Amino acid sequence: MTGQLWWPGALAGILTALLGLWLWQLLRRRRFLAELQRQLAQQQHLHLPLNISPVPAAFQPLYQSLSELLLSLPEDITRDRLTGLANRVGFKRYTCASMPLTRGALVLIDVHRFRYVNDLLGFAFGDELLRLFSQRLQHLKQAPSFISRMNGDEFLLYYDTQVDEAQLHKLKGRMQVPFDVKGTPIAIKVHIGLLDLGQHHADLSQMLRRLDLALKKARNARDGVASYGSGDDLVHQRELQLISSLPKDLQLDRLHMVYQPKLALSSGRCTQMEALIRWEHGSLGTVSPAEFIPLAEYAGMIDLVSKWALEQVLAQQAAWRLAGLTFQVALNLSTSDLDNDGLAEEIAARLEHYRLPADALVIEITESTLMTDLQRALTTLHQLRAIGVRLAIDDFGTGHSSLAYLKHLPVDEVKIDKAFLEDLLVDEQAAHIMGASISLAKKLGFEVTVEGVETKAVRDALQVMGADVIQGDFFAPPMTASELEGSWPQLQARAANKD
């Protein structure tokens, strides 16, 4: 009897085990199907192979077939592989299907100096930052109707309702909250350009161009935010005309150099000039260097301009020395010039070509240019110093340099910007700032030049403060080489005259 009672318990145990196995397999299948559904849905955004493990035996044929099908599909040309967002092509397809866009706004946002993230921390780190940036865009409280990554670090947002400046600043604040990238906190700055479609709708290419103009304005704006305005097209057309005609006008000698003499206060002598570029455009008239030099840098033509200017200055120096006129000529270089690893060798070769001593040339670098990439700039400055060229910091006090770095700069001279002369004679604080700037520079071993001096009273005040050299219309305005030669005796007499 007892022997006959064991089998019901055993049977119950077997049934329980079979039920557990069935439930476990069912759970595995459900998990597999849920993950499969998720990865297939993801294909709308990212074209990636299936990656599920383990795969239940019953679903192996299905999984294999789907994997092969996905691998055989053509690349989705409308999607950005890194972020899963629409790319430029995707945006154009979306927009063309929605045209005309006569209400709402287009917003273009980029990351300030994003390339430094890649340079300093690596491309994998930069890619992760862009992924996190795109995810934050997709979870904004005021969600845009469409988001696309246009290129690099530029993202476009389309809102079907109007966007005002307050909303842009709120967006900026949200996107500038530090990111946690692989355990490292990263703080960024962004620029935001806005195109109001209600006022400035047009065909797609023109709207994108206007949006680019808005972002360009934002990059130069103090708060990093700007909107497209009706007159911006004319400005853009002028810029295009300048850039397109620059190489040709260099060949046609429509650009020329002028030279502004400087006065040494202690000796009463004129021993140095600054070379300045002037452009007489065929249809636009006189074009200021403040306008076309930044354009040349933006368009990648600054190297062309700098080499032309260096050649003009050295050729003129050689001619002057043959005529018995001996002085130094200073020439300003740009950020791009300092990025040239062979700059010192090129200058040394041109000096040798014209049989000029290295100290015939002074290279001026603006403080803001210097601080763009200080370590690289320092390397270039040391190379220039090694060949014997004199070095000067232009617009001293207007950039963002740290006082800790100043003592390490291999420069001979600092030039204090004319902005410091404002109210010098009537404002005690302005005088204290000027005096302190001169004193600091001289204690660090630099010669001090002050720009923009226009009156005797200012000259006298600067001399009392200890300035070494002045430059400005009080002593002499910029003049062509022939004008300088003709007035050289008068300039020397004026320099010697303390009045």
Q: CA separation (Å) from 116 to 222, 270, 325?
A: 21, 43, 46
Q: Would you call 73 exposed, middle or buried from its count of C-beta atoms within 10 A (0-12, 13-18, 19+)?
A: exposed
Q: Is the pLDDT of residue 220 over 90?
A: no
The residues, ordered by sequence, that sit 6+ positions from 315 with a Cβ below 8 Å of its Cβ are 354
Residue pLDDT, tens place only, 315-372: 999 999 999 999 999 999 887 888 888 999 999 999 999 999 999 999 998 866 666 6
Q: Which residues contact 178 (CB under 8 A, 6 or more apart)?
A: 185, 186, 187, 188
- Structure confidence by residue, pLDDT tens digits, 84-126: 898 998 888 888 888 888 899 999 999 988 887 887 788 889 9
The pLDDT of residue 472 is above 50: yes
Q: Whole-model pTM above 0.85?
A: no
9-41, pLDDT tens digit by residue?
Answer: 555 556 566 666 666 677 777 777 777 677 666
- Specify the pLDDT at position 392: 92
Query: Sign (positive/negative) of CA torsion 230, 231, 236, 238?
Result: positive
The reported pLDDT for the residue numbered 235 is 80
- pLDDT of 263 > 90? The answer is yes
| Mean pLDDT, all residues of the chain | 86
What is the rounded average pLDDT of the residues 201-225? Answer: 89
pLDDT over 90 (residue 273): yes
Residue 147 pairs in a beta bridge with 157
pLDDT for residue 1? 47
pLDDT for 257:
96
pLDDT-based confidence at residue 73 (cuts at 50, 70, 90): low
Residue 400 has pLDDT above 60, yes or no: no
Q: Does the pLDDT value for residue 4 go beyond 60?
A: no
pLDDT, mean of residues 36-59: 69
Q: Find, among 271, 289, 375, the residue nearest to 329 by Cα.
A: 271
Read off the pLDDT of each residue in 57-81 and give the average, rounded to a whole number.
73
pLDDT by residue (tens digit) across 136-189? 999 998 899 999 999 889 999 999 999 988 899 999 999 999 999 988 888 999
What local confidence, expressed as pLDDT, does residue 249 receive?
93
Report whether pLDDT(77) > 90: no
Q: Work out the average pLDDT over 223-252.
A: 88
